Amino acid sequence: MTTAGDIMHRGAQWIPAHETLDRAAQLMRELNVGALPISDENERLCGILTDRDIVVGCVAMGHDPAKITAGQMAHGTPRWIEASADVGEVLQEMREHQIRRLPVIENKRLVGMISEADLAEHLGENQIAAFAESVYARTTPSSH
């Protein structure tokens, strides 16, 4: 059985919720990543911050990234998966919530991150195609 721990990228690092977005951008550059899990003061996952969040949700809105915190950008319920979870559970979680990055937790600690690149490296073509179709499928706007 292939697990989340088998396919994850090790060495993921938190950004504390109180850190500013300019610091988050610097950390992304240092780690060569496009997303960082956001942790609260108890090192619990409270969101994920992406480089796109910084650009679209802060800079493009005319806000100063040195004055906005990672925690202020955390929205919705954070998703994660246990390192021991089967790869099928990983795919289901990412499909169901239409997410492209998934933090991996072991013993209540962040141990890695699963991205689309990790999936592409470890899954068969049929699994990748089904995943891409479900995550990237456009939904029609509902009429109000």
CATH number of the domain that residue 85 is part of:
3.10.580.10
Q: How far apart are the first and last CA of the chain?
A: 45
> Is 128 inside a domain boundary?
yes
Residue 114 covered by a domain? yes
Domain-embedded: residue 68: yes
Residue 84 falls within a domain, yes or no?
Answer: yes
pLDDT of 77 reads 82
Report how far residue 45's alpha carbon sits from residue 105's, in angstroms, rounded to the nearest whole number.
Answer: 10
Q: Which domain holds residue 119?
A: 4-136
Token code pair at residue 16: 């504390």
Distance CA(7)–CA(15), nearest Å, equals 22
* Contact of 17 with 10, CB cutoff 8 Å: no
**Is residue 144 situated within a structural domain?**
no
For position 137, what pLDDT does the model report?
64
Please tell me the pTM assigned to this model. Answer: 0.79
Query: Is residue 96 predicted with pLDDT exceeding 60?
Result: yes
What lies within 8 Å, CB to CB, of 81 at 6+ separation is 4, 89, 90, 93, 102, 103, 104, 105, 114
Mean pLDDT, range 36-61, rounded to an integer: 92
Digit-coded pLDDT (tens) for 13-31: 999 999 999 999 999 999 9
**For residue 13, what are the CA distances in angstroms to 35, 113, 116?**
10, 9, 18
Domain count, the chain: 1
pLDDT of residue 144: 42
Q: Is residue 141 part of a domain?
A: no
Q: What is the pLDDT of residues 114-140, one digit of tens each?
A: 988 888 887 777 777 777 776 666 554
Q: How far apart are CA 97 and CA 4, in angstroms?
A: 17
Percent of the chain residues past pLDDT 90, beyond the cut: 54
